[in-house]
């Protein structure tokens, strides 16, 4: 690590980036290209970039106020990446060595990512901190990724280099830590860069860790290009007139594959707003779509909900969202009301509900598995809750007044992929039967890096990927009902954690995404439902009233008793992609409970 310390003490210079002179007005890369669009025939990422670099389209980066701060045409990306690659070669690493990059929304990350591929190295994106109060947790997360990936190099910009340096202090295999600017100061080697091969590893994608510690998904060039072709040709039906806009983080699989790599392989321009800037003012994302006439933009459901809640009625007059033809939705459970509310709110701004494009995917299958039909909007089915719980069967609601669940149609598999539903015995189930979702196809990962135990759990014979999700097929289309680890089994009853959380979020004192439900095992082996709520109430009377009301509602809805714990805001742990982590919430609850028990014993002894 001595070389790491030396480099960290080197002078820091301006990040390697394209900036025009002060006399030049910065303009975004155009939508219409000078290059004939090509969607197929690329075997590797660098093959695709070599072609895209012949045109005039590229990446555009905007600040929190919606001002264009930097552009990165694919031609410049290609040149910068190749120059950086010749500096990376100077480290003398073996082909396939891992390189960690903290993935802020910047040209530097994209350049480094492609520089690694040109140099025959395997990059992986690490998250930016969710909030400044999670310093220790964030550093530990980085350290875990560096160790499990056996990374040789690690990069971060000036905002995050101190976090990275702290995480790297005791990582023995790491040879060098620094900024993109420091790399650019190193001498370029006079070498011929060797082309990549389809069976080589393209990158590692660390899972966000919703239910366990992050694992590095190994994605080959072949799997990546297969998935990208399915997304752009079959899922989105990309044309030369398309343009994308995104706030999704570059360290998330939907942000990286769907909104960084997919635009490049189709040679279309894309406009970026940093995730943290979107969270503060989601209107800026909609303004980008409106102003630049973007046609393709994806979001997690909570992003649409944020837009619906935060954008004022007076803001709608300045928006024209009629250009938005593919409003992709995925990455978490899709709630129909979220889509309906968004469509209703932005109808006056020209948004067409037929643009909704629900899809399903996961990092272990590169990104996408299924797409609904483009241009047809979203479709859902009301399912009888009793039949779903008791018979594990999706039965359309026949009579009004009966309890129901509504699930969104996520569409059919991409070409060359198969989805099947299996029971607890691993045998395939008939349509409309609820079970585990398995996927087979060329996009499926080769495994988790350096983790044969988890790989064996996820990959079944004949390379069937166990997604960990629960769902059913209905007329050939996939419907996701939840995560298998998110199902709480109490006295033989399967209770979805999402249902308990939604029930809590309907109360005026509970905000969206501030409730986490899970099961804990008692000493006798039975399971108890626990509901942890981030609460701002200060009155003891009001807090007790909320607890009692939530317990009554859970019992009335599911017939089980429930422990309700109220905790301060920002207590519930979140993953790198911003989702609540039920696994970590459960661990936190158990730790707090054990501590309280220990304190009670100490206090009784003192008395």
Residue 321 included in any domain = no
Looking at residue 507, which CATH number applies to its domain? 3.30.300.30
Return the pLDDT at 596: 56
Which of 214, 248, 280 lies at the terminal end of a domain, its last residue?
280
Final residue before a domain boundary, out of 258, 280, 302: 280
Domain assignment present for residue 74? The answer is: yes
Domain-located, residue 213: yes
Nearest to 145 by CA among 225, 207, 221: 207
Tokens of 161: 């280099």
For 295-354, how does the pLDDT look when each residue is reduced to its tens digit (9 = 90+)? 999 998 889 989 999 999 999 999 999 999 999 998 877 889 999 999 999 999 999 999
Q: What percent of the chain has pLDDT over 90?
A: 68
Residue 132 within any structural domain of the chain: yes
Domain closes at, from 216, 248, 280: 280
Please report the pLDDT score of residue 576 as a whole number: 61
Q: Is residue 464 part of a domain?
A: no
Domain membership flag for residue 97? yes
Which residue matches tokens 């996009």? 443
Per-residue 3-state assignment (H helix, E strand, C coil) for 238-295 = CCCCCCEEECCCCCCHHHHHHHHHHHHHCCCCEEEECHHHHHHCCHHHHHHHHHHCCC
Pairing of strands 216-220, 447-448: antiparallel
What's 515's DSSP letter?
A: E
Nearest to 547 by CA among 528, 529, 568, 532: 532
pLDDT greater than 90 at residue 388: no
| Structural domain count, the chain | 2
Rounded to an integer, the average pLDDT of 391-414 is 87
pTM of structure: 0.82
| pLDDT, position 577 | 62
Q: Is residue 90 part of a domain?
A: yes
The pLDDT assigned to 150 comes to 94
Mean pLDDT for all residues in the chain: 88
9 pLDDT tier (thresholds 50, 70, 90): very low
> Residue 93 domain-assigned?
yes
C-alpha to C-alpha distance for 480 and 467, rounded to whole angstroms: 11
> What pLDDT shows up at residue 604?
40
CATH code of the domain covering residue 163? 3.40.50.12780
pLDDT per position as a tens digit, 522-580: 766 678 999 999 999 999 999 999 999 999 988 887 778 999 999 999 888 877 666 78
Q: Over 50: is that where the pLDDT of 594 sits?
A: yes
| Domain encompassing residue 161 | 2-18+42-280
Q: Are 470 and 484 in contact (CB under 8 A)?
A: yes
């Amino acid at each position: 690590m001595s070389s790491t310390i030396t480099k960290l003490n080197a002078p820091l210079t301006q990040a390697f980036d394209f900036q025009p002179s002060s006399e030049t007005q910065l303009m975004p890369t155009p939508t219409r290209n000078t290059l004939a669009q090509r969607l197929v025939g690329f075997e590797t990422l660098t093959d695709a970039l070599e072609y895209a670099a012949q045109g005039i389209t590229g990446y555009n980066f905007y600040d929190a106020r919606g001002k264009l701060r930097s552009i990165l045409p694919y031609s410049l990306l290609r040149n910068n990446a190749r120059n950086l690659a010749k500096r990376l070669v100077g480290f003398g690493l073996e082909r396939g060595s891992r390189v960690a990059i903290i993935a802020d929304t910047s040209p530097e990350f994209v350049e480094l990512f492609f520089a690694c591929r040109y140099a025959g190295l395997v990059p992986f994106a690490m998250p930016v901190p969710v909030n400044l109060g999670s310093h220790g947790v964030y550093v530990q997360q980085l350290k875990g990724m560096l160790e499990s990936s056996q990374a040789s190099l690690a990069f971060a910009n000036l905002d995050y280099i101190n976090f990275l340096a702290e995480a790297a202090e005791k990582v023995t295999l790491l040879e060098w830590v620094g900024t993109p600017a420091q790399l650019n100061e190193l001498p370029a080697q006079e070498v011929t860069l060797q082309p990549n091969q389809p069976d080589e590893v393209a990158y590692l994608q660390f899972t966000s860790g919703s239910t366990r510690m992050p694992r590095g998904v190994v994605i080959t060039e072949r799997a990546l290009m297969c998935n990208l072709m399915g997304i752009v040709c079959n899922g989105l039906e990309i044309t030369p007139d398309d343009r994308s806009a995104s706030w999704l983080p570059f360290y998330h699989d939907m942000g990286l594959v769907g909104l960084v790599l997919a635009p490049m392989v189709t040679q279309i321009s894309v406009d970026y707003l940093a995730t943290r800037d979107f969270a503060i003012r989601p209107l800026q994302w909609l303004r980008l779509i409106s102003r630049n006439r973007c046609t393709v933009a994806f979001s997690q459901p909570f992003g649409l909900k944020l837009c619906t809640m935060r954008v004022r009625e007076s803001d709608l007059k300045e928006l024209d969202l009629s250009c938005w033809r593919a409003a992709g939705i995925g990455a978490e459970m899709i709630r129909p009301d979220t889509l309906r509310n968004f469509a209703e709110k932005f109808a006056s701004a020209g948004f067409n509900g037929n643009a909704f494009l629900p899809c399903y995917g996961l990092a272990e299958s590169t990104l996408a598995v299924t797409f609904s039909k483009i241009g047809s909007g979203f479709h859902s089915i009301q399912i009888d809750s009793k039949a779903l719980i008791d018979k594990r069967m999706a039965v359309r609601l026949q009579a009004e007044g009966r309890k129901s669940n509504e699930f969104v149609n996520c569409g059919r598999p991409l070409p060359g992929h198969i989805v099947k539903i299996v029971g607890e015995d691993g045998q395939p189930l008939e349509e409309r039967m609820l079970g585990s979702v398995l996927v087979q196809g060329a996009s499926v990962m080769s495994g988790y890096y350096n983790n044969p135990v988890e790989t064996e759990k996820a990959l079944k014979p004949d390379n069937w990927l166990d997604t960990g999700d629960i769902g059913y097929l209905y007329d050939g289309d996939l419907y996701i009902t939840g995560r298998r680890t998110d199902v709480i089994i109490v006295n033989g009853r399967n209770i979805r954690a999402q249902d308990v959380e939604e029930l809590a979020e309907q109360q005026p004192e509970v905000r969206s995404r501030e409730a986490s439900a899970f099961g804990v095992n008692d000493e006798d082996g039975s399971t108890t439902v626990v509901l942890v709520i981030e609460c701002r109430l200060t009155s003891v009377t009001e807090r007790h009233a909320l607890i009692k009301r939530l317990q009554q509602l859970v019992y009335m809805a599911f017939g089980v008793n429930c422990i309700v714990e109220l905790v301060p805001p920002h207590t519930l742990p979140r993953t790198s992609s911003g989702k609540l982590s039920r696994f970590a919430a459960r661990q936190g609850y158990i730790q707090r409970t054990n501590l309280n028990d220990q304190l009670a014993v100490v206090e009784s002894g003192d008395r």
